[in-house]
Amino acid sequence: MTEAAALSPETVMRQMKDNGVTDIVWLPDSETNWLYLLMQADPDLRLIGVTREGHACSIAAGLFSGGRKPMMLIQNTGMLESGDSIRGWLMGLNIPIVLMVGYRGYTRHGVNTDTAATYTERFLMAFGLQFYLVENDADSARITIAFQEAERTRQPVVVLVGDEYHGFNR
């Protein structure tokens, strides 16, 4: 059995473009540097850098309220500390948005030494947030499914990026 290709930043960019994303509200994590360079080179994509992940929620809510289609790009550690903002500004205002969340500590087999990974899915389940795991390019269609689900439910949907040590940090 051959190992599946890593999740490439180009694939993620294609998913963003195919789903009409206009703005990325984000805070860098250990996986997104190459993706950042791609996003920065795209003149049709506005990057809004935040200094704490929770800030991204109300910014995204404002963007959506004014007719844009934002996406959030953060790490699971930041998601954990953003709970009240996710609740109030995204879930409470019915904002249909995809959060791409770097899954720090993810090891696929559930044996990990990083509590950021330990609590990530528990957090999502506690909030009742739908989520999809994406580990490689073959999984990328799930990103579109997440966008479709966000639109249908008018709620945030999370894509967990379980590829910390491969393509995102060239």
Q: Is 51 in the site for another protein (CB under 8 A)?
A: yes
- Identify which of residues 68 and 166 has a Cβ nearer to another protein in the complex: 68
Of the candidates 60, 100, 150, 159, which one interacts with another protein according to CB under 8 A?
A: 60
**Min CB(150)–another protein separation in Å:** 12
Q: Is 129 in the site for another protein (CB under 8 A)?
A: no
Closest CA to 161 of 103, 104, 114, 106: 103
Q: Is 15 in the site for another protein (CB under 8 A)?
A: no
Residue-wise over 63-75: b if at least 16 C-beta within 10 A, else e?
bbeeeebbbbbbb
Of the candidates 16, 39, 50, 157, which one interacts with another protein according to CB under 8 A?
A: 50
**Pairwise CA distance, residues 149 & 147, whole Å:** 5
Q: Is 93 in the site for another protein (CB under 8 A)?
A: yes
Of the candidates 52, 108, 152, 170, which one interacts with another protein according to CB under 8 A?
A: 52
Q: Give the neighbor-by-neighbor strand order of the sheet with 70-75.
A: 46-49, 23-26, 70-75, 98-102, 157-161, 131-134
Ranges of beta strands (E only) in the chain are 23-26, 46-49, 70-75, 98-102, 131-134, 157-161
Among the residue ranges 33-41, 63-71, 104-112, 127-135, the one whose residues contact another protein (CB under 8 A): 63-71
Q: Is 75 in the site for another protein (CB under 8 A)?
A: no
**Min CB(147)–another protein separation in Å:** 13
Other C-beta atoms lying within 10 Å of the C-beta of residue 155: 17
DSSP structure class, residue 7: P
Question: Which residues sit at the interface with another protein, rule CB under 8 A?
Answer: 23, 25, 46, 48-52, 54-68, 70, 84-85, 87-89, 92-95
